[in-house]
Structure 1
């Protein structure tokens, strides 16, 4: 798979080496046809070979490498709600879980302290409520002043607020509403804590092991929803102009088809490529995060007459793409607009004829001649 994926990069590197040898200095060619007279003997000696061209159907393809990744909004990090000892981990990587499934059990002294504080707050709230009911009765009988009733009412409100806060802390510690209610009624403390999956998905990684002592908010597992899935495509900067014409993105080896949802605005300095993001709905296809894939971008026609030429026939010289067309007296260097490219063929727009043949090998001689005819060459 690696050879077709990186064939374009290899071809580009080869072209750059050829251009460097041919030019050796700064060259600024105009985007105009240039005649390169060569005899038959010179063409044969240079090893120049030609191939025919054909009219393009109007739709093009761009083959690029990519890496499968999970959309960030579909990643969920499950953390320990309280500090404690990891007693058991109940899931393994690549295992599917449903929302509410048990993931791990912890032994937590912090949980015991939170339960104790909750029971104390419940007792204080009950006492404050009873005091309020008594003072309301005394106020009705005009035994106490209104100011005392207002103070008692404020104390009861504060006690209920503290109880709610303690209950919320237990919920953050991983206790369900039913478990909190049971604690209130039975007043039995427990150090065991079950961590449950907040969403359905697949376990991508475990970040703790049995026996670890962890702090609150320490990561336990990562859960991901894998439908839809993203593929980060590496697009050579020279081929990124026509990406707005991408109709579909296909991964033939995996049997899935998706769409382009985002085109990057920055360039990787190491690879001189732009990252484009394609979205797929994998279904039952074996598309896995981290997987290296090859994708084909189906591009709509750019308008105008398009020609399909061998990919090796197109060379890039400074700011223009060129092909060398066979002529009666040798060759004609034609500036073309590169619309799309696959490892085998390139689609170009240029004033060509169906009977034309283009050079595909022996390009060094032609490039040297092209550079020598540039009026700005030194």
Structure 2
């Protein structure tokens, strides 16, 4: 009985030799005859295909038999790259567990969103107020604690200072001078009406009265800034009041503490409006225009919505960019937002309808693979590592296709073609058996 024809690999080399070469160093002294001079490393790149071929049995043809699948032009449902497709028979596909799924255009529908993004609740800058010391002095009493709700005009602390005594004295003197100048103006107006004094004297009296009134108003406003009453005797003590309704973020003062003028004592926030500071991968930040819809889902199931107001320009140590969003204010009669500044939440930013996503697709996470030391078909010769997917062109044909990874999405990746050739309508990519396809591809290219 004649010996059966030996099983061959994809390059026509007997499998026994390939398996033997995979277990031996690729040197001329140890390689079997007829294999010296071949490029080293090819056998190491094909273990998955070789052992799968042994399982498949006659799926790999003997000499003279037709190939399992003929290389054909790319179909209308997949892009055609410059890399040759990998032909596999039905038995090989089954043995290797290769399976494909369709890609999803990123700009289609409303399902494209950056989800599970780490975010921190923040207070918009316009909603913050700082209460400072009106002069150098001492904090006598503190009436509030951090987190306490306050209304506009509520007393936060009492403050005593010798400088406040001087300010009250100056205000009292200015007020008396203004009253005296106003009385002189009224007297001269009566004398001028009787023709007793000249018009020049009346004008001078009026100018003096206006100047005195301006000085008195200046001192009165200074008393208000210092938290002192506009009238009353000198006391040297002031009540520091809340400039808005909200809650106390920080209490920086303690009773008995001596502080300089303008030293910060309390930080207040308007609780009716909050925002989010979201960390987004730098590669995806460029896709986020101002106004992109944002939402966060609370533990009780409620959804808070908002929009992007700014995208940071500086990349952090984790290669992320800070994206700031404002949350919608609750309606009239509704409860305040159940969030606190500094609270960690997860946010979701919708990418649907963004023009920057033209040509981008969503792929499952298992579809992506990398090839080190190879330039992509886009001409990015400087890249040390290129990303690829295997496009299922037709039954038994899988073509390596270079892509640019834009960033992660829930359950997958957002990618764009690395070159000018786009993904075609209804394109499918391999999501299982990718490692075996990569091994076959590297062996096909002689690596």
Common topology (TM > 0.5) = yes
Are the counterparts in 2 of residues 53 and 357 from structure 1 also a CA contact under 8 Å?
A: yes
Task: Give deviations 1:303-350, integer Å, cap 9, x for gaps.
Answer: 989865321322467767521346877852123576874242235673
Question: CA shift at 1:192, angstroms?
Answer: 2.1
Determine which of 82, 106, 114 is the counterpart of 2:135.
82
Task: Give deviations 1:71-118, integer Å, cap 9, x for gaps.
Answer: 111111111223321011111111111111111111122222112122
Task: Give deviations 1:11-66, integer Å, cap 9, x for gaps.
Answer: xxxxxxxxxxx9xxxxxxxx9352465989xx99xx98755424647421222222
Change (3 A) 1:253 1:113: same
For 2:281 and 2:443, how far apart are their aligned partners in 1? 25
Task: Give deviations 1:138-166, integer Å, cap 9, x for gaps.
Answer: 55666655554444443333333322222
For 1:355 and 1:141, how far apart are their aligned partners in 2? 103
Q: TM-score scaled to structure 1, two decimals?
A: 0.71
Change (3 A) 1:322 1:173: same
For 1:98 and 1:86, how far apart are their aligned partners in 2? 21
Counterpart check, 1:286 vs 2:338: yes
Give the match for residue 30 of structure 2.
none
Give the match for residue 295 of structure 1.
347
3-state DSSP class of the match of 2:230?
helix
Change (3 A) 1:128 1:354: closer
Higher-helix-fraction structure: 1
Counterpart check, 1:32 vs 2:81: yes
Q: Point out where structure 1 has 5 or more consecutive residues left out of the alignment.
A: 1-21, 23-30
Tell which deviates more after alignment, 332-341 or 105-114: 332-341
Are the counterparts in 2 of residues 257 and 280 from structure 1 also a CA contact under 8 Å?
A: yes
Are the counterparts in 1 of residues 312 and 323 from structure 2 also a CA contact under 8 Å?
A: no
Determine which of 136, 155, 169 is the counterpart of 2:222.
169
Give the match for residue 311 of structure 1.
365
Give the match for residue 110 of structure 1.
163
For 2:413 and 2:164, how far apart are their aligned partners in 1? 66
Larger-Rg structure = 2
For 1:243 and 1:371, how far apart are their aligned partners in 2? 41
How many residues get paired? 334
Tell which deviates more after alignment, 290-299 or 357-366: 357-366
Q: TM-score scaled to structure 2, two decimals?
A: 0.61
Give the match for residue 240 of structure 1.
285
Counterpart check, 1:350 vs 2:423: yes
Give the match for residue 180 of structure 1.
230
Specify which structure has the bigger relative contact order, considering alpha-carbon pairs within 8 angstroms and separated by 6 or more residues: 1
Give the match for residue 27 of structure 1.
none
**Correspondence list, 1:1-378, <5 A:** 32=81, 34-35=83-84, 37=86, 50-54=98-102, 56=104, 58=109, 59-63=111-115, 64-136=117-189, 147-175=200-228, 179-181=229-231, 183=232, 188-244=233-289, 248-254=293-299, 255-264=302-311, 266-268=313-315, 270-281=317-328, 284-300=336-352, 309-315=363-369, 321-325=387-391, 331-336=398-403, 341-346=408-413, 350-351=423-424, 357-359=430-432, 362=435, 366=439, 369=442
Higher-strand-fraction structure: 1
For 2:283 and 2:306, how far apart are their aligned partners in 1? 21
Are the counterparts in 1 of residues 131 and 265 from structure 2 also a CA contact under 8 Å?
A: yes
For 2:444 and 2:161, how far apart are their aligned partners in 1? 76
Are the counterparts in 2 of residues 236 and 273 from structure 1 also a CA contact under 8 Å?
A: yes
3-state DSSP class of the match of 1:290?
coil
Give the match for residue 13 of structure 2.
none
Are the counterparts in 1 of residues 290 and 309 from structure 2 also a CA contact under 8 Å?
A: no
